[in-house]
Amino acid sequence: EYEKLEKIGEGTYRTVFKAENRETHEMVALKWVRLDDNDEGETCLLKELKHKNIVRFHDVLHGNKKLTLVFEFCYQDLKKYFDSCNGDLDPEIVKSFLFQLVKGLGFCHSRNVLHRDLKPQNLLINRNGELKLADFGLSRAFGIPISGVVTLWNRPPDVLFGAKLYSTSIDMWSAGCIFAELVNAGQPLCPGNDVDDQLKRILWLLGAPTEEQWPSMPKLPDYKPYPMYPATTFLVYVVPKLNATGKDLLQNLLKCNPVQCISAEEALQHPYFSDFCLP
């Protein structure tokens, strides 16, 4: 049914090709997955998640010891977009991409699905400037304990401290990290070298929370006391190009205590988007 044109991605368990539907001539992405990689879950999720800001799932083909998942084709991901810009992103483009990211997350969360692996490489962009969430291989329903989530740089403090149960805050924290990266033209907010370094960078940036501010923190499996960094947040200083309402939204996305993190629905109603109309 499909003619492979070129390889556009490769990992340990997955290979992605650009291909053409021989009958309709539509461009698609073919994702080859080993059957023992347990991506049946991603297939089931994608059948239910139909939204303009989620990559469109066409079909699944069963082969010898592998699945081929067929998706709409998007010409680049956000990481490649950063690389192609060579400088600042227009503030309206930043706002548009963040709005679409949060819109897609809101749809997932309303159906009790967490993405859990948000990063620029998993956000696809088509030629109309539409941003789409992709790669739902780590997605799970709320409340299921599972490890190995979220790329280190976009991992929230509760997960770094060993939390096994997650709420929507795991995605909203990652969205905040990506927001800062958008504003800073691809510069990661907290590029830690390991879990310990990542936590220190976050706590320096936001100020270490007290037990009064985050009562459940000492009960997390991998919690250990950290230096009490200054209470004043340095977050606003690392995004100097962001306006006041944008900085306020970023601070509400990046809350150490996950209970205090803003939801997708609340984020879409934030004043940062008050003058925004999606083109």
Could you read off the pLDDT of 94-111 as tens digits, one per residue?
A: 999 999 999 999 999 998
Residues 151 and 20 in one domain: no
pLDDT band at 9 (very low <50, low <70, confident <90, very high): confident
Residues 139 and 228 in one domain: yes
Contacts of 248 (CB under 8 A, 6+ apart): 270, 271, 272
Percent of the chain surpassing pLDDT 70: 89
Among residues 251, 222, 227, 217, the alpha carbon closest in space to that of 160 is found at 222
Q: Which pLDDT belongs to residue 139?
A: 60
Residue 279 in domain: no
Residues 267 and 238 in one domain: yes
pLDDT band at 119 (very low <50, low <70, confident <90, very high): very high
Q: Is 158 exposed, middle or buried (0-12, 13-18, 19+ CB in 10 A)?
A: buried
Residues 102 and 220 in one domain: yes
CA distance 30 to 24: 16
Q: Does the pLDDT of residue 149 top 90, yes or no? A: no
Residue 65 in domain: yes
Task: Give catalytic status of residue 39 as yes or no.
Answer: no
Residue 278 in domain: no
Q: Which pLDDT belongs to residue 140?
A: 62
What's the pTM?
A: 0.90
pLDDT band at 218 (very low <50, low <70, confident <90, very high): very high
Structural domains in the chain (count): 2
Residues 55 and 83 in one domain: no
**Which of 36, 52, 72 delimits the end of a domain?**
72
* Beta-sheet pairing, 140-141 with 27-34: unpaired
pLDDT band at 15 (very low <50, low <70, confident <90, very high): confident
Q: Could you tell me the residue range of the domain that residue 26 belongs to?
A: 2-72
- Selected catalytic residue, list 117, 135, 158, 171: 117
Residue 37 in domain: yes
What's the average model confidence in pLDDT over 113-132?
A: 92
**Which of 13, 41, 72 delimits the end of a domain?**
72
Residues 181 and 66 in one domain: no
CA distance 279 to 277: 6
